[in-house]
Structure formats: C-alpha cells, structure tokens
C-alpha cells in the first residue's frame, strides 16, 4: 500500500451508503460544474504544519497523534522522510496543491545561515517530488511567531535585531517560493499586534510592518518572484489583539500604506468567527473590494473562543463560500482551498488524516454543487434584482447616476405620507429564503 | 379565504421545487415515522405572544408588522378579534396546540380584579374556539416580567407587595390553565435574577421563589389542575443574571428545594446558546436526568449575544433535537414543539407568519426523518456500543457493578506500560462521523 | 428648587465621605489640570434621547422611568415642556453641551413637511434657552433607524423612496445644526448593514451611502455649516451586521470613498466592546490615524452581548480614555464626552438622572486626574522610550529611515546566534505595569 | 542573594511611590484586619505548575521563560533542584502555602509503579523543606489530563483501562496528600466532558466519575486523610464541554450523586468568566449553598475566549472576592488564595515570577482593605436591609414564615391599584452604588 496504510481515495458517489468515510461521495475531480472541472474550482491544498507536524497537542495536553514517521528520531531524518509521506498522501487524496511555513519543513539551526542550510536540503527533495508527481505549491510562508525571539512580534517587534532577523528569514522564504513556483505568498502576523496598549506604540509598529512589506515586494520583484502576496487576517490568538483583525481592517491597512497593488487576502473561516463575522462575510468584503486572494478552508465552533481549525463539514458554510466563489469566477487570481485544519485531538490515528481530508473535500464539493444549482436557477439573482429594482429607474437612478442632491430628494419625498413610504418598503420573507436553501442542499446533493 | 389572505397549507412533498414557501415539503402530519404519526412526535404549538402580539419592534425601532387586526383600536376589541385570527391560523397551518401568557390575550386593568375580568372574557371565547376546532392548549403561563412593578423580580422581588401581587396573578393563571385543559404550565423567570450582586440577597431571593413554587403546586393540587409544571431556563436578558441559568442550574435548584416531583424543564434553543451550550446539550442534560418537559423551538445566531427567537431552519440542530426526542420516546410526558419564535423584523407581512411557521415545521419534520433514518440504521447506537464496550466485562464491569476500589484498580494498572494504555485508547474518527451525518441528511430527505 | 426636585450639584471633594451620591468628589469644573480647565478637557454633554426620552424599557418590559413631564400628555406639549426640564438639568449639573437626534425633540407628522414644522417649533425654544444659559450644542444627528420605513436601512435601503426620504430628512437636520451652531454632526448607521447576506448587495449599498455622505457634505458647504462630520461605529444591534463595524472599518470606508477630508469618528465604549475591542483600542486607532472626533462616554458589561449604554464608572476605562485624550491634546477638534448612557432600568427615579450623570462625570474627572499624574511622571513615556530604543540608532534607524532592505538586514542578522537574539528581546514586566497603574489611581485620587 | 537574584520582598506601604514593583504596598502580613491577620484571611499559595513548570508556551509559540534551573537537563535532577528554588521563592515572597499536581513535581516513568518511585524521591525532599521552612501544602491534586491516554477523559474515559489507571494514580496522590498534610485535595476534570455529543453517553460517564469520587472518599477515610475534597469547575478548554461547567452545575452533580458531605468547590476567576459569570457570582453561589472551599486567584480578559490565568490585578474583582470572604468568615474551612496564574508570555524573566506574585498579593490585600472598610461602615448591609425590609413584617413576613398561600396573597393584592404597586417598588440608585464603591477603593487604600 505504500507508506500510509490507506488505499487511494476513490469517488463512489452515493453507492456505498452514508457511513463510508474513506471514499468521495461528492468530489469527482474531473466532473465539469459551471464550466470548469471541480478540481479547478476547488484547487484543494494540504497544509504541511497541521497534516504532518501537528502532534495534536492542546494547552492542557501533549500530542496524541499516531504518525508512521515518528520512528525517525533525528530531526533532519524525520524532515526528509516526511517529504515522502507528504507526496504519497497528496497523491492518494488526489490533492494537487500544498502549502508550508519555512519552519514546517526543516529544523532550525543556531543561526539563520545554519537554518537556511537545513531548509535547502529539504527543499531539494520537495522539488524532486513536485516534478515527479505534478503536485504544485499553492503558497509558502514564514513562521515569524513560534520562536521566543518573536514573543513581541517580528516586523512589529520593539527590538530592531528581531526585525532584522525576520527580514533575513523572509528573504530566504521568498527565494524558496520563487524556486518552487509558489502561486501565492502568505503573511500571517500571529505576533504582529499587542498584548497591552499601555506599552505599545501602535502607529510606529504598523509603520514598521508596512516598510517590511514594501521591502518584501521590492525583493520579490528583484528576483522575479511573481506570486500573489496575501495577508491572512485574524483578530487575536496568540496575541491579545492582532493588527490584521479582519478583512476590512487589513484592507484599510493596505490602502493607507500604499500596498493595494501588491496584496490580496487569504481568508480563514475560523478567524472570521473569532472576529465576530461569518466566513461568507469576510469573503464578500474581500471579493467586492477586489481583495479575494485565497482561502484557508476550516471551521470553528461559534460557542468556542479559540481557533479550533476544524476540518470543514458544515454544509451551510461550504455552500455560502462556494456561492461567493462562483460569483467571483475563481478563488482569487491564483487562490485555492488550503485545509488549514487538523483532525480533532480525539481523532488521532494516521488514517484520520485521510478521513478528515475526505470529509473536508466532500463538504466543499457538495457546497459547489449546491451553489451551482442555485446559480443555474437564478434563485439569488432574481431575489436581488427584484429587491433593488427601485434603483434601476426614476428617483433611484438619479441616486446611482450622481445627479441627485439632498434638495432634489427632499423635493421628491417631502409630501409623501407615511402610508406610501411603508408601501415602498417590502418584506424580505427571510424564513422562506432559508427554507429554500435547505431545499437546494437536499435537491442538489440527491441528484449528485 | 377567510380572515387571513392565505390558503390552507398543504403537504406537497418535493414536487413543487425548492422555491415554494407556502407548502410543506417534509411535514406530512399523518405519516407514520418510528411508530407514531409525525404530528404526534412533533406536537407543534403556536406562541400567542410572538405570532399575534409581536409588532416586530427592537431596541432601536418601532413595530414593522402588518397585521389585519390592527384595524381594531380598542384593546378589548382587538384582543377578542385576535382569537378568531388565531384559530384560523392554527387550522390553516394544521397546528394542534397553542401557548399563551395571561397578558398576551387580554389587556390589564388598574387592579388585578379588573385585569382578571378582562381575562375571563377572552378565555370564554378561546374555550369556544378550542371546542369548535379541537385545537388544544399545550401550556399557559403568566407574564411576571413586562409590567414596571416587576422591574426587580416577581417571586424574587425585594418588595413583598409585588410578590403578593405575583402570587395572586399566578392563582388566576392556574385557574385558567385548569379550565382550558392545559397539558403543561410554564414558569419563565425573566426578572428572577439580579442586575447587580452588591444589592442582592441571592439566597433569600431563591428561597422566596421556591416557596412561591410550592404554593403554586399546592394550589394546583387543590383545584385538581394536573398539568406538568415546567421551568424554562435562560441565563440572562432582560436580567443581567437569571437564576434559572441553564438546565443544570435549574435542576440543582429543584433538587435543593424539594421541587423535583413537581417540575420538569421547558428548553429553548436560543437560550441554550446564550448560556454557552448547544440546544442538544440542554436537551440531553434534561433527558438523562428525567427532566425533559417540553421544547421552545427556535434558533439563535451564535455570533449574536441577545435572544433572537428566530424560526428554526438549521437542519443540524433539528436533527440533533429530534434524535434526542426519539431516544426519549417523546418530548416529555406532555411536551410539544412550541414556536417561541418571531419572523425577522424585515419579514413583516401577515403572510410571513405562515411562511415562517412552514419553514419551522418543515425543518423539524426533516429533523425527525433524518434522526429516524440514523436510528433505524443503528448508526449512533453501534458507534456508542463499540466505544464503551470495555465496560461491559472484565475490569470495566467491576467499575460499573460497584466492586472496584482504588486498590483493586491500582493493582490492575500499576505495571501496564504506556504503550498498552495508549493502545487501549481509540480514535473516534470524528470527521467521518460528521460527514456521515451530512450523508444521512441528504439521503433521508431525498427519499422523503 | 425648580422643575427638578434636586439642588445644583456642587464640588465637595472628599469631605462628604464615600457615600454621597449627589455631589462631585473629583469633578471641579474650573480646576486647571495639564494646562486646561477640567471642563475644557472633558466638555461633557447630555444625550437628549436617553436622559429625556428613555422610558427605561427593555425587550421584555415597558418603561419604569418616573419623569415629572409625563404629566403632559399631548406630544407637542411634552416636547416643549422637556426643553425647560432639559436646560434646568444642564445647569444644575454644570454640563455645558447637549446632543440630540431630530426625532428626540419633536414628534413626527404624517409627511416630512409636517414633521419639519413640528421640529421648528421646538428648535425655536431650544435656541432661546441656549442663548439664555450659554449651553451649547455638541452635536445633532438624525434618526434614520426608528421608523419602520427604515427597517432595511436608510441610505442603504434597497428602496429608493426611503433613500430619498432620508436625504430630505438629513437636509433639514443639517439646517438645524447650522442654526443652533452645532460643533459636530454625527451619523450613526444603526440600520445601515444587513440582516442576511443572501439578499444583500453589499457593495451597491455601501456605494449608495457614500454618495449620501457626499451629498450631505456638499449641502453643508452650500449652507455654510462647518461642523465636524462624525461617523459612529457599531458592529451590530439592531442590525445583524452594521457596515461601520469598528473604527478601522469606518476609516477603510472613508478612505475608499474619498471622504477622509470630511469625516472623523465618534467613538462609544460599549460599541467598542461589542466589536471585540477595548474602548482604549478604538480611541487609539482613531487618534493615531487622525480620525479622533468625539466620544460617546458610556460603558458595557463584557459578559453581555448587547448595548447596555451604562453610565461610565469603571476607573480603569476612564483612565485609559483620558490618557489617550491627553496625548491627543483634546477630544478631536470639537469633540466632547457625550453621555450616551441611561440609568439602569432599576434606577428609575427622576433623581437618578442626576445621580447617574454625577457618577459618570466624577469617573471621567478621576480618569483625567490619574492620567495627568502618570503623564507628569512620564511613567508611560519612559517605559515606551526604553522599549523601542533600538530603533533610535544603528540597524533600527536604517529601518525607520527607509535605507534598509531585506538584503541589508539579512547580512546584519544571518550569523547571530539564538542566544544573542533572545538577549535582544526584553521582558515587559506587565504585571508590574498593571500594579503601578493601580497605585497611580489611588495616589492621584487620594491627593485630589 | 541565594538561588534567585531577588531580595526578600518587604512591605513598604506607599513610601516608595507608585512605580516600585518589588515591594508590597498593601500586603502587610501580620497587620490585623477585621479581627485576623492579613495572612490568615488571604492564605496565599503558589501554584507549582505555573510558577516552576510553565515555560510560557502558547498554541503558536514555544517557551519564552528564563528560569535558573533550566541548566539541569536530566528530568529528575531538575525536579529535585526545583524544590530548592521553590522553597526559597515561597520564603522570599512570604507565602505560607503551595499547591501541586502529581505530575508537576516529578517525571513519569513507563509504568505507574516507576512513576510513583520518581514521585517518592521528590516528595521526600519536599517534606524536608516543609519542615525546615514551615511552609504548608494548601492542596495537592492529580493530573488526569496531560498524558495522551487521557485524551477522552480519565474517570469519564470510554476506556476502562484508562479509568483503572486513573484510579491507581489517584490512590498514590491521596497517599502523598496524607503524608504532606494537605489541607485540601482538588479535582479538576479538564478532560471529564465531551468533544461531541454524538459519540458520548453523558449519563454513563457522569455515573462513572461519581463512583470514582466515592472510591476516593472511601480510600481517604481508610488511610485517615481528612483533607477537604474540592471540585474545581470550568466550562470548557481543553474539552469542548466540561461536566463541571460552573458552581451551580457542580453542586447539582454533588447533590444528585450523594457527594455533598465530601466535597466543596475550588473556584477560579478566569473559569467563572469562561462560563459567562463574574468571579463574585461563582463565589456567592458556593458560599450561600455551603460549598465555598478554596480560591484559585487569577483573572481573565472578558473579551478573550480562552483561559489566560493572568495574575489578578483588577481591584474591582479583588474587592468583590474579599467582600464575599469577609461575609463567609473565611475562604472555606481550609481554603486559601492559590495563584493559579502565570506571568504573561512577554513577562519572561525569572524576576517576573516575583513581580507577578507581588502584584497579585498586593491586589488581594487591597481588596481586603477596601472590603473591610465597606464592612465596617455597614454600607452594603444598610443598603440590603432597607431594600428587603418589606419582608421583615406584615405580608412579607407571612411569605417568609410559610403561612402565606396563593389565596391569602391574592386577597391582599387583588384590589391594589397600579399606582400603589409602583410606589412599593423602589429605585436602587445603582449608579450611586458604583460610584460609592469607587470612593471606598480610593479612601481605604489612601489610608492604608
Ligand atoms: Co489560516
Ligand atoms: Co486558524
Ligand atoms: Co421560550
Ligand atoms: Co428566547
Ligand atoms: Co453612541
Ligand atoms: Co450604545
Ligand atoms: Co485553577
Ligand atoms: Co484557569
């Protein structure tokens, strides 16, 4: 069977009954939906950190994960062995992309130079495997948050030596991205924020990180690395307050620091919830403002206040996400659905890595099928068109075409009685809309 | 068409396509599922306060609701007219139960005596309509929270006159319950709690309300009113902290005040969320402790911190609720699914009252169908049986049968190596379980 | 005693003991602190809506407030009488500013024209009282959220007639602001957001409201009304999601719609909490970005998910707010501390309006005294200067002066061992910082 | 200076100014307050796990802590060395109690027998140090949550072997408690709960743990270990839902499983917040029901959804806690204030262990001083007495003495007009109450 004791995952449709966990019920990679193959809409990616490095620890417990490569005790041996395990897993799942932090794939040395040397050895092996399998790098990134030197930030550290180190680390990471043909490059500022405002010069820190991003953009240009740069917002955790709180905050930062040409956003479902938003909201904000870059597909529990990074199985959420993607035409210019997700700590067998990816892939494939059916029927489009129709002509058109003034609108409205105003205000029948979405889920998936 | 400009709602199955909002897709009242008619599993009830009195106000806006009986301006005229509207709505929806607070159905007078006189007139008319239609009273209750006299509580008011008034009000309410054959009687203590601990004698207040409940039980016995008494927990809102915080807290109160013979619980989905729980959790706690009484079927938004009382449309939640009900055999001894729910403020046409009940009824009917399919397959039962099998014999059996001691267990375990202990610990494959539930939803509803 | 049965509130310092609730312990209007009179730092304002119109209702209860002018039953009579009560309250409290919505001060007619006529009568009387007392208008605003016509928004309503009506209403409101010499003009978009994304064209709606703001700015210029325009962010409630979620989101909107010249922000403590932020955070974001406009001084309860609008008494929060104000030099160009706050529903006597303002004014005066003492000692400044000192020269200076590149920083860092990097990273002794702030509170107020 | 590069911490009162972080400003151990020495009211304890073992990791970063004993690389060597460091720290802080989990003090072996042998060696050394210094064991406990074998619980594990192992582990832990004279024994069920209800037999699991507690009580009796047993509630984290959700839930469990004679509660501030409560609420619930056992003194951030275990510095909270303790007469029969708290990850010097304990001790000492002043003045007592006075005679007395019935109360109330009822309802002047507490804080600490 290879390194993993699991067969290649096959699409079986609905023939094997509801309880089959090691086959695709909805994800049929080459099936054409809305003009593209499913795999081209979804562009699934595996996250190296969770899938290969996550031992399933939590703040009150050590790792529970069973992983076959734990037999390698030397860090470099294990790092190199994982490459083989990784590409076999990609292939068996039929996932065509992966993502990693620099620190995921090779151990640190005492200096950046030594660390970079370790990195190069693993990157060599990854490059070979990419060629051999055709699996591509959706994005890479740099861990500027794990090591204690980053305790108070990297590009927002109050300590210039740390900033300098982070810059050097980033330089290498961009070079690796270039070498491996990364389609995007992600910045998640887990420590870029504050623990306490009383000791924080917020503006100075955000100016520092803006300069950092400009240096990165300059260097990428210099070396001809044309990946799409992406910021990944998160409101808090580990930091009490992170500067990239949510999509709107990140866009504000990009606008006020002349970075809109270079950056788009990588949006994560669980981060949306921690910021008080739905995942659909964050994607809508990014999409409508031209900042949709890529997606970290996972889910949280809205009754829980920390980042759970669960594999996504909530069909309401996958339908909403894929609806937004259908409207956008794609997940950003080069985006994909990276499973920034880990099995639950109680789901710790090696086999559960496959089970959980299958659950996530199927859930997103289902979301695509449902969104496509709603789209073909024009259900949402019709509802919207009718709801906003008063702006298509008459007084509404003067508002949209810029000829209206307060005075012209006052004149229009000043003698309208309350009854006429109330009559102009329509019910949205929201409960029927929600029931209709339920019906679409059943109908689209029953016919899948 | 009658008083409401809506036809009787019919079951059409899946023939009218996903967008039909004024017909049942899943709720087929007389269809037998798991040995009982759907209507007997579900026992739907309409909540008078939301459906007939709720003007769709919120803290920042006045009412938006369009209701045909707003043409009656005299309070008693309107109260009496509503009875006709109510019973036509029940009949057109095919709902066989309703619920009300004393203050929902008739206006207050200046004294309790005058108020009671108003009540009697409306109760007369309700009684006639019940006889004529066969619609029954799931439960009644008393509003001990709206009037300013209850600002600091009723049975926990620091002011004895208010307590006395509440007792008098309750007496009348029990008499009405008896007269109308209420199957349950509900106590929701919206003001029974505290705004601030610094001025609150908590124990004294909870002792007061325990005495109040005992008086109520005594009086019910005296007049031969044998309805099941129910406490409805809610953690807060309007009060900063309500004493009946959640199911466990309410059960603790009942146990410590000798009230377990008299009371069970009426559980609401949105209240569960406000207390940090899922609806399924609250029902499970009540069910396994013998306190499941009835259900206030609604849903909240877990990102929102107040009580939204939305009509329930989340199939994950309705499946979980109906699973618990299937295991219990019924919703308590006399319980039902009362829609303690209002249309959204933007869904304000009279017709939306029908649309929203249809959405709610269909969602719960769907939940029943899915839970039943899982139950027939033994999916959860098998999973549980295997998971806990180590308690069925051997050392596990000594734990359950009470023969184990710390010493006997120490002896069993003291020389087991870590590898054996880890081998005894099994993965729960949680992601596959969740994906399987998705599959059951689609399969059960596609074949519905 | 006048209309209110309360004497003028006097400053007594600490002579009357801790339990005196109807005298100022810390607020001494003309005392000079940090170069300005207390009253000029604080510029307290009374909010007409809460203080005179709030009946202390909540979603489960009717009003509890006792107010002397409830004896006036005709709406216009009551509206006119309230003007006298208002100005006597301002004077007895020694508050020099007030704020109102158009709908606070006069009842609506059936048409905007009739409504405006009502408004004019009350504005006449307000203007007289302003002249007589010297009390000034901190800001006025327009209620585009209470009436059911605004159920789905005003400037983001899907219904063009409602937009037009809102524009007409705003025109009148700006004219009143001009006439009464309002120093600011506030826009709070309580309904400008969405209830559900599935029926919302978010971008179209936000474009509509941007046009609306431009029309308002044009008209203000046309009539020579030079008040500072302010947006007041709030994340939700009444709307599920409000577009002006928080300070950063509002600034992003202003930047992307060419409105930064015209608008600053009015920030509220309770709204900050509902968005997941501290009040200090929101003020810092606005201050450092040049958008600090004015403050709605109130507080929330962070365990509660709705807007409580409590009078502010938390000294930790008032110290933090006044610290930010001291650093800014003032609360925006024309800002003040408007008590967007109501007594608790249990604190319902007329006298409690005075008690609660006194509590709020004293708490902010105390905050100013503590912040000033910390400022004079240079406590925070020293801590910051040391913390960021590595950017003042050497490699840090190259980062700040723009000469650094990834390559130059890599060269600096590449051979630094981990030990040196850790040594460059300093502890922030955060627990001592918090204990020191406690000490400053005691010391500053003991010597007050 | 000894092992730690810090001098013994002295009480300096307010002479060293607000910025001194390494001296007590309020904690004067032998000063008599309310009839007892401060140290006897407060009974401070140091938590071994946080103070000596916590490396200041978080879910996204490795340890930042600088600790002098990290020079010992062998686990047993380090464990033994820490004992010396611990007792010097206790002595220099003047803390007379400590607390530990079995796994805090010695490394695990491969079997329980080997682990117990490791434990014994360290316990020998601890015992010697206790004798030499007079420092006592406030409580010990057992870690049934860190090791992967406990992933799905210990006494609620679905796997009987794990239950047996936990029982054996607990037996040893009780023996150690007996040997070291622990005054209490704590059970925190970090894994006793569920990750998902779909695979959980909740009642079976809670019955299992109840049996476990009975076995523990039996064994303690058998060996003559008479410590007070304590359950420590927490609602979630690491587990999605923990069975001991809050004080009320834990009391309900104790009542329904015949464990009230054996157990009281150990309450933690941060856990209270995670359950949606204030710390004062949880203590009040325990106190008034006779279950106040001991306190884990720490604080959370109410805007943060995970357990921060911050050192307590919020004076509002320490005042409220010490008020409850003053009313109770002591913190339970043998309780103390255990600092279940860690310095922030950014506060990582060895010295910060001292700074953070000083901040916490001073904050609780300040809380005691303020609560005592309010108590001596009778401020709260008077307010309560007046508020509830209507129950002291007349109709109120009939309610409290059990002679009232619904009928007798109806008769009393039935003809009372609304005006009389409203007159019987008094304002609580809540804003003045809060301002008064502010005044007490300043006055009590200024005269300290
Ligand atoms: Co992510
Ligand atoms: Co995440
Ligand atoms: Co309810
Ligand atoms: Co509710
Ligand atoms: Co405000
Ligand atoms: Co507010
Ligand atoms: Co604890
Ligand atoms: Co904790």
Active-site residue A101, yes or no? yes
User: How much is the average pLDDT of A380-409?
Assistant: 98
- Supply the Cα-derived Rg of chain A in whole angstroms: 24
Structure tokens at C99: 């704020």
Percent residues over pLDDT 70 in chain D: 100
DSSP state of C205: H
Size of interface A-D (CB pairs under 8 A): 89
Q: Return the bridge partners of B44, or none.
A: B337
0.95 cut: is pTM over it?
yes
**DSSP β-ladder status, D184-187 and D228-231:** parallel
Q: How far is CA A412 from CA A409, B78, B312, C246, in A?
A: 5, 37, 41, 34
Say whether B435 and A362 touch across the interface (CB within 8 A). Answer: yes
CB contact under 8 A, C237 and B344: no
Query: What's the rounded mean pLDDT across residues C293-298?
Result: 98
B372 Cα to the center of ligand 1, angstroms: 37
Rg of chain D over all Cα atoms, to the nearest angstrom: 24
Cα of A320 from ligand 8 centre, angstroms? 36
Residues of B in contact with D404 (CB under 8 A): 164, 167, 211, 215
Q: Please check the confidence at residue D363 and state whether its pLDDT lies above 90.
A: yes
Average pLDDT, chain D: 98
Q: Please give the structure tokens belonging to residue D409.
A: 């109360």
Residue B110 to residue D417, Cβ atoms within 8 A = yes
Number of residues written out for chain C = 448
Would you call A161 helix, strand, or coil by DSSP?
A: helix
Residue of A311, A309, A317, A254 whose CA lies nearest to A283: A317
- For B56, D83, D101, D142, D164, the CA distances from D169, given in Å and listed in that order, are 58, 22, 11, 7, 9
Single out the residue of B231, B233, B235 nearest to residue B305, CA to CA: B235
- Model pLDDT, residue B15: 86
Per-residue pLDDT band at D214 (split at 50, 70, 90): very high
Query: Read out DSSP for C213-246?
Result: HHHHHHHHHHHT--PEEEE---SSSSSSEESS-S
Do residues C317 and A197 touch, judged by C-beta distance below 8 A?
Answer: no
Residues C308, C311, C313, CA angle at the centre, nearest 5°?
115
pLDDT tens by residue, D325-362 = 999 999 999 999 999 999 999 999 999 999 999 999 99
The percent of residues in chain D predicted with pLDDT above 90, rounded, is: 98
The answer for residues whose C-beta is within 8 angstroms of residue B272's C-beta and 6 or more apart is B246, B278, B279, B281, B282
Burial class of residue D419 in the structure, from the number of CB atoms within 10 Å of its CB (0-12 exposed, 13-18 middle, 19+ buried):
exposed
pLDDT surpassing 90 at residue A15:
no
Measured CA to CA, the distance from residue B155 to residue B142 in angstroms comes to 12
Give the pLDDT of residue D21. Answer: 87
Burial string for C248-273 (b: 16+ CB within 10 Å, else e) reads bbbbbbbebbebeebbbbbbbbbbbb
Write out pLDDT tens, residues A340-368.
Answer: 999 999 999 999 999 999 999 999 999 99
- C282 vs C233: CA distance, rounded Å: 10
- Mean pLDDT of each 10-residue bin along chain B, 448 residues long: 94 91 96 98 98 97 98 98 98 98 98 98 98 98 98 98 98 98 98 98 98 98 98 98 98 98 98 98 98 98 98 98 98 97 98 98 98 98 98 98 98 98 98 98 92
Of A273, A379, A446, the CB nearest to B446: A446
Band (pLDDT 50/70/90 cuts) for residue A67 is very high
For A79, the token pair is: 């790092």
Q: Is the pLDDT of residue A14 over 90?
A: no
Confidence tier at C448 by pLDDT (50, 70, 90): confident
Chain A adjacent subunits, 3+ CB pairs under 8 A:
B, C, D
Query: CA dihedral defined by C141, C145, C148, C153, rounded to 10 degrees?
Result: 120
Is residue A157 pLDDT above 90, yes or no?
Answer: yes
- The CA-CA-CA angle for residues D216, D219, D225, to 5°, reads 100
- Give the pLDDT confidence score for residue C242 in this predicted structure: 98
- Most A CBs within 10 Å, among D55, D61, D66, D273, to test the A interface: D61
Q: Is the pLDDT of residue C1 over 80?
A: no
Contact C143, A389 (CB under 8 A): no
| D1 pLDDT above the threshold of 80 | no
CA distance A136 to A120: 18
Distance (Å) from CA D428 to ligand 4 centroid: 27
pLDDT single digits (tens) A248-261: 999 999 999 999 99
Determine the distance separating the centroid of ligand 4 and the alpha carbon of B254, expressed in angstroms.
22
Neighbours of chain D (3+ CB pairs under 8 A): A, B, C
Which residues in chain B are closer than 8 Å to A359, comparing Cβ atoms? 431-432, 434-435
Beta strands, E only, A136-275? 136-141, 184-187, 193-194, 228-231, 241-242, 263-268
How far is Cα D70 from Cα D72, in angstroms, rounded to an integer?
A: 5
Cβ–Cβ below 8 Å for B446 and A442: yes
Phi, psi of D421 (to 5 degrees): -65, -40
Q: Model confidence over C61-85: pLDDT tens digits?
A: 999 999 999 999 999 999 999 999 9
Give CA C106 to chain center in angstroms.
23
pLDDT at C15: 85
Strands B263-268 and B228-231: parallel
- What's the Rg (C-alpha) of chain C? 24
3-state secondary structure of A23: coil
Residue of A nearest to B16 (CA): A439
- For residue B448, what pLDDT is reported? 78
The 3-state DSSP class for residue B45 equals strand
Residue D16's pLDDT band (boundaries 50, 70, 90)?
confident
Tokens 């969320």 locate to B273
Question: What number is the average pLDDT over the span C372-393?
Answer: 98
Check pLDDT > 90 for residue C264.
yes
CA-based max dimension of chain C: 82
* pLDDT score of D162: 98
Detail the DSSP E strand segments found in C226-329: 228-231, 241-242, 263-268, 292-296
Decide if pLDDT at A324 tops 80: yes
Looking at the DSSP assignment, which residues form a beta bridge with residue B32? B37
C304 band by pLDDT with thresholds 50, 70 and 90: very high
Question: Which pLDDT score, from 0 to 100, does residue A16 have?
Answer: 86
Give pLDDT, residue D163.
Answer: 98
**Is A268 annotated as belonging to a binding site?**
yes
How confident is the model over A103-125, as a mean pLDDT? 98
Task: Answer yes or no: are the C-beta atoms of B244 and B253 closer than 8 Å.
Answer: yes
Is D318's Cβ below 8 Å from some Cβ in C?
Answer: no
Provide, as residue numbers in chain B, all residues whose Cβ is less than 8 Å from the Cβ of A379: 18-19
The helix (H) or strand (E) run that includes residue D193 is: strand D193-194
């Amino acid at each position: 069977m290879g390194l993993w004791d699991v067969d290649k995952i096959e699409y079986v449709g609905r023939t094997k009954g509801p309880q089959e966990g090691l086959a695709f019920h909805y994800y049929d990679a080459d099936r054409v939906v809305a003009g593209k193959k499913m795999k081209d809409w979804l562009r699934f990616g595996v996250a190296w950190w969770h899938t290969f490095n996550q031992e399933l620890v939590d703040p009150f417990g050590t790792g529970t994960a069973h992983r076959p490569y734990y037999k390698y005790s030397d860090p470099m041996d294990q790092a190199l062995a994982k490459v083989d395990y990784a590409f076999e897993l990609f292939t068996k799942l039929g996932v065509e992309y992966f993502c990693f932090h620099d620190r995921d794939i090779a151990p640190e040395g005492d200096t950046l130079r030594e660390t970079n040397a370790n990195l190069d050895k693993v990157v060599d092996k990854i490059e070979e495997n990419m060629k051999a399998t055709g699996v591509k790098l959706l994005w890479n990134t740099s861990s500027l948050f794990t090591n204690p030197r980053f305790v108070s930030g990297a590009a927002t550290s109050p300590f210039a030596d740390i900033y300098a180190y982070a810059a050097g680390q980033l330089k290498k990471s961009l070079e690796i991205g270039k070498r491996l043909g990364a389609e995007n490059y992600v910045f998640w500022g887990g420590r870029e924020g504050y623990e306490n405002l009383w000791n924080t010069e917020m503006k100075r820190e955000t100016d520092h990180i803006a300069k950092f991003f400009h240096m990165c953009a300059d260097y990428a240009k210099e070396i001809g690395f044309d990946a799409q740069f992406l910021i990944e917002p998160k409101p808090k955790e580990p930091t009490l307050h992170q500067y990239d709180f949510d999509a709107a905050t990140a866009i504000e930062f990009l606008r006020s620091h002349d970075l809109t040409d270079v950056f788009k956003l990588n949006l994560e479902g669980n981060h949306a919830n921690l910021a008080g938003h739905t995942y659909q909201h964050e994607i809508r904000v990014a999409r409508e403002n031209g900042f949709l870059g890529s997606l970290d597909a996972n889910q949280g529990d809205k009754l829980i206040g920390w980042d759970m990074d669960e594999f996504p199985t909530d069909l309401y959420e996958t339908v909403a996400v894929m609806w937004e993607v259908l409207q956008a035409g794609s997940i950003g210019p080069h985006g994909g659905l990276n499973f920034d997700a880990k099995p639950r700590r109680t789901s710790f067998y090696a086999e559960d890595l496959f089970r959980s990816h299958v659950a996530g892939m199927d859930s997103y494939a289902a979301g695509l099928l449902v969104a496509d059916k709603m789209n073909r029927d024009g259900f949402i489009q019709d509802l919207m068109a009718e709801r906003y129709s008063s702006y298509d002509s008459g007084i509404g058109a003067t508002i949209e075409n810029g000829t209206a003034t307060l005075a012209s609108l006052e004149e229009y409205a000043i003698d309208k009685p309350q009854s006429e105003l109330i009559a102009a205000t329509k019910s949205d029948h929201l409960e029927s809309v929600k029931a209709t979405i339920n019906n679409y889920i059943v109908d689209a998936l029953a016919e899948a």
